[in-house]
Chain A
Amino acid sequence: MSNALTKAAASRNRAAEPYSLFSALRGGGPVVWLSCLIMGLGNILGGQIVLGLIYLAIEVGIIRFLVSAGGGIYWISMLPSLGWREQEKVFNEETFVYEYVAGDQSQLILLYGIASLCVVGLLVLVWQSSVRSGYKALCLKKEGKHVPNFRQSLKSLLDENVHKLLMFPPTACLAVFTVLPLLYMMSMAFTNYSKEGDHLVLFDWVGLDNFIAIFDSTSTIGKQFGSVLTWTLIWAFFATFLNFFLGTIVAMIINRKSIRFKGLWRGCLSMTIAVPQFVSLMVVRSMLQPEGIINRMLLNAGLISERLPFLTDATWARVLVIIVNLWVGIPYTIMQVTGILQNIPAEQYEAATIDGANVFQIFFNITLPYMLFVLTPYIITQFTGNINNFNVIYLLTRGEPMGVGNSAGDTDLLITWLYKLSVDQQKYNLAAVIGIFTFVVLSIVSLITYRSSGSYKDEEGFK
């Protein structure tokens, strides 16, 4: 007898979802079908009155929001056109004054429209969960089993359903303040929302025009995109690999057996990590100004006869941001590689020394290959991080020097250009295109790394 029971339980477990939406619709009968319209009905009839009423209240609330005047349905219906009514001045016959009649604001229509679509999505999710939960309650009642009352349902939130309780606040915040903004921003890439052509209040869908303009290498914006992209890649390459090589070498030097005060050296070097970047980099920026202390010192020492254009000449500025980035980045590399260096098997070094290899041969044939093997994921993360390295560029040069008539400076990365385009120049559509482009490139790189990394494969073994 008990054997049969366990078998039944096992078979129920084997079916992926005992109370799935599909099985509810197929095997539920009229009450469940009716509860598709009146959410919570199943729960109420199944004995879970409070839960059912909550579902019903949510349904009423959402539908009221959607159908009320100026509610969700209105915003969704405005989405295809994004509004057309301009603000108008109307003469009021009674009071003999001109009054302004508010026009449409495409930006708000887009935002509220997308938010309303999300609310509709939410309604679908709640609906699905209510139908399933109602079906479950009815089934349990029919089978004569105990239907958990509201208090027990609440209690289960602290036990087997604790993930629902714990995940709700972070997920809700993510949805509203990360996912919604991203959807909103991405949709801007397909509009002409820009200061250019006076489209800040009313704008329209333009399809792929922005993408075509940016990827067209003959247009003004396309040329700028080309040069910014090239510089971004050059920067990311040098910033990553120079940091890695030089950082490894410094770490090895500090790691030498005969060197004392290892902590002191590492501590001194990590000052650039400990002090906030907006302080350290702005100090360096001030020192590198044409009138700044470095030029002054060089002049006083008679080493140069006129001021060096540290941050005002494109080539100087580009080389300098890479060098200053070494100042910030080498300590990070040291932190990362110190432990790994100690893991290299000592026998390899001994064997190499016996064979008569010199320091450089040992470095290039033993240390470096080992480090590259272990740290490839780290290097790729650094590479993507450098493509998005807003702080170093923006604090140091603000993207300058800037050619006349350009919207991007010579040291601007895609990310700082994006910032300038959206915050300073209000060309939101182009900024959005660049954001999407950066995301696509980064996600391809990262997905490949992440998929082949050990931590992902370990995760597969999670039970």
Chain B
Amino acid sequence: MAKKVSGGMKAKRITLDVVTYVFLVVMCLIWLIPFFWLVMQSFRDGKGQFISTFLPTAYTLNNYKALFTEFDVMNFPRMFMNTFFIACCTCVISTFFVLSVSYCTSRLKWKMRKPYMNMAMVLNLFPGFMSMVAVYFILKALGMTEGNKIPLAMIICFSAGSGTGFYVMKGYMDTIPKSMDEAASMDGCTHWQIFTKITLPLCKPMIVYQVITSFMGPWVDFVFAKVIARTNSQYFTVSIGLWSMLEKEYVDTWFVRFCAGAVLVSIPIAILFMVTQKFYQEAMGGAVKG
């Protein structure tokens, strides 16, 4: 990086530092410019996807207002509520599944334990989209792809497979000493009590991580939800809604509103992500310290 050796070691180090800082600033600019542009576009007054200047020439709040007042083509608040409802149910079910499976594979001895873990690993290897159409056919055969059962179908889609995603949680539970279970067992605790009164409280940071991660799933997925909701726009989730705002027939009017909607969705998701990272790091410190 710094080729010039000017004077002693100190001068060289300072040059190197300056170069590094410049490099980092440039990197961060590259990383942030698209988001900055997105935010600026969301305040742009006017229509159309393509404009001739980087920054808008006129600013307005109407794009945000339109998302919450104009419902004839896209009902953004309803999409938001749909996604929120689906995400809440999904996160309860998946967290319960993941915790059950992790506890059983980490703490208990049972005959099918190893086969189950191998099966989960194999299932994880199948590309998720491979069975997507088949899942749709199955839900259709169960009569769950019409009308108000669509949200239920989405909840199933997002949470049914979570029984295979237990590796991180299991790894965490493995760090809890077995002697704690044994001690509780001596004191007359049943396995269920050990699970609810000892293991779960010790896993708190990891549970928070798991809850938020599965809560975010429905917000960021657009493929599964799109296959199930098809054209039933009243059951759209936020991501399908935003996606369809950029379809050819809408993009001219809706591009700036897409930007506004994207900002509104991204902020909470980004904050939640930061929270998960905090808890994840805390969790990686180990379950029982000392």
Contacts and interface: CB of A to CB of B under 8 A. Distances in A.
Interface stretch (B58-66, B67-75, B263-271): B263-271
Contact of B159 (A173, A250, A282, A287): A173
B17 A163 contact: no
Interface stretch (B33-41, B84-92, B203-211): B33-41
Contacts of A390: 129, 223
B137 A439 contact: no
Contact of A159 (B159, B191, B273): B191
Interface in B113-165: 113, 116-117, 120-123, 125-127, 129-135, 137-138, 141, 156-157, 159-164
Interface in A256-278: 256, 258-259, 265, 268-269, 271-278
A409 to B, nearest CB: 16
B20 A173 contact: no
Contact of A388 (B127, B138, B219): B127
A180 B164 contact: no
Interface residues of A, number: 82
Nearest to B161: A178
- The secondary-structure label for the interface of chain A is helix
Interface string B16-31: 0100110110011011
Interface in B90-126: 96-97, 100-101, 103-104, 108, 110, 113, 116-117, 120-123, 125-126
Contacts of B157: 177
A282 B141 CA distance: 34
Output the residue of A174, A184, A280, A435 with the most chain B CB within 10 A: A174
B24 A279 contact: no
A184 B121 contact: no
Contacts of A276: 219-220, 239, 265-266, 269
Contacts of A423: 132-133, 227
Contacts of B191: 158-160, 162
A442 B128 CA distance: 13
B209 to A, nearest CB: 14
B125 to A, nearest CB: 5
Contacts of A124: none
B50 A296 contact: yes
A107 B137 contact: yes
Contacts of A177: 135, 138, 156-157, 160-161
Contacts of B77: none
Nearest to B29: A268
A422 B242 contact: no
A275 B266 contact: yes
B104 to A, nearest CB: 4
A123 B120 CA distance: 23
Contacts of A278: 220, 222, 239, 242-243
Contacts of A336: none
Contacts of B259: 283
Output the residue of B27, B131, B161, B163 with the most chain A CB within 10 A: B131
B101 A167 contact: yes
A422 B133 contact: yes
Given A269-B28, A438-B127, A277 B50 contact: no
A327 interface: yes
B229 to A, nearest CB: 13
Contacts of A300: 52
Nearest to A422: B133
A339 to B, nearest CB: 9
A112 B134 CA distance: 12
Contacts of A253: 20, 23-24
Output the residue of B125, B164, B193, B266 with the most chain A CB within 10 A: B125
8 tightest A-B contacts by CB? A170-B163, A435-B130, A181-B134, A181-B131, A177-B160, A166-B100, A274-B270, A158-B192
Interface of A: 107-108, 111-112, 158-160, 162-163, 165-167, 169-171, 173-174, 176-182, 184-185, 188, 250, 253-254, 256, 258-259, 265, 268-269, 271-280, 282-284, 286-287, 289, 291-293, 296-297, 300, 327, 331, 359, 384, 388, 390, 394, 415, 418-419, 422-423, 428, 431-432, 435, 438-439, 442-443, 446, 450, 455, 459
